[in-house]
Amino acid sequence: MRILVIINASSGKGHGNNIIPVIEERFGSSLFAIRQTRSSSEAEDIARKACLECVDIIATVGGDGTVNGVLNGIIASDVSLGIIPVGVANDLALHLGIPQNIEKACDIIFARNERKVDVICANGRHYLTCVGLGLPYHVLAIAEFIKRRKIAKRFFAHFGDCSVYIIGLPSAFVRALLRRNHVRIHSPHFSINANALSLLVSNLPVLGGKYHILPAAVNDDGLGDVFLIKNSGHPLRLITTIFKIFKGSHLDMPDVIAFKNRGVTVECSKPTPFFGDGEIAPPDSRFEISIKRRAVRVIVPIEGRRD
């Protein structure tokens, strides 16, 4: 077994070189190489080249963005994906039951219990957690700004990593409320027209570490869970909806539409910023979104395996 480890030195609390001795000890002679990067695009390039070097596993040390880079590098291969979560939200690892303890995560990878999971494809790029626009994009953009500030490390240490998303929520809500965007969501069987406050297509029930947005979502059924909050122009009602998301009790609110589908096309009235797996993408006015069922192998704890 040959394991390549890709470390994003800028993820989370910046573990970087501190965990290399642990990785070397845990993987031993199975360790093919360790590569360091500071961006998901660089991680993608490293992963794509590694697929030609007969590695069996590429293990990521970072957050969901680092995982996304590696995913896009291995998507057409038989290489398995391992996750050592040291990012901020770590939504995929949390869902799969992969611990943030580095030694335990390494041991899970070395045991190599694999599970095939669905992949979201949006405008040709692949994602494992969710894609979306509107309110969640603004929350992410504000969180990224905060994380770049020097005070961020002290902030995370005091309040916890995922609190950065909560702190940014009020400002993000105002931005999304004021920037009205008409969208048409359609497939061969239906069409929805609405002013969108928030739009997500997700494989996971919990996002941002705390938000129970789509409680029924699973990531191996071949279906994406679509979640729309309409910008109805009723701020108090919309605020109530958002607070209900923390408990997953929001789906019966009048401005919410949620359903499962194998794929949708989203057309926006203007070029709109977009994100997926915690990574911000260039604005576009049309998004082709589909689900590739069980398209990648992810290494999980034995209790998280599904055949």
Q: What percent of the chain has pLDDT over 90?
A: 69
Look at residue 151 and tell me whether its pLDDT is greater than 90.
no
Nearest-angstrom CA–CA distance, 157 and 212: 24
Exposure b/e, 77-99, CB count within 10 A at least 16 = b: bebbbbbbbbbbbbbbbbbbebb
How far from 33 is each of 20, 79, 206, CA to CA, in Å?
11, 15, 33
Q: Which residue's structure tokens are 């994380």?
A: 147
127-291 is classed CATH 2.60.200.40: yes
Q: Which of 154, 230, 246, 244 is nearest to 197 (CA)?
A: 230
Instruction: Dig out the tokens for 286 from the structure.
Output: 């049309």
* pLDDT average, residue stretch 220-225: 96
pLDDT of residue 157: 47
Q: Which CATH code is given to the segment(s) 3-112? A: 3.40.50.10330
Q: How far from each other are the two terminal CA atoms of the chain, in whole angstroms?
A: 22
pLDDT at 166 over 80: no
pTM score? 0.91
Taking only the tens place, the pLDDT of each residue in 31-48 is 999 999 988 899 999 999
For the chain, the domains span: 3-112, 127-291
pLDDT tens for 88-144 read 789 999 999 999 999 999 999 999 999 999 999 999 999 999 999 999 999 988 887
Distance separating alpha carbons of residues 57 and 65, to the nearest angstrom? 18
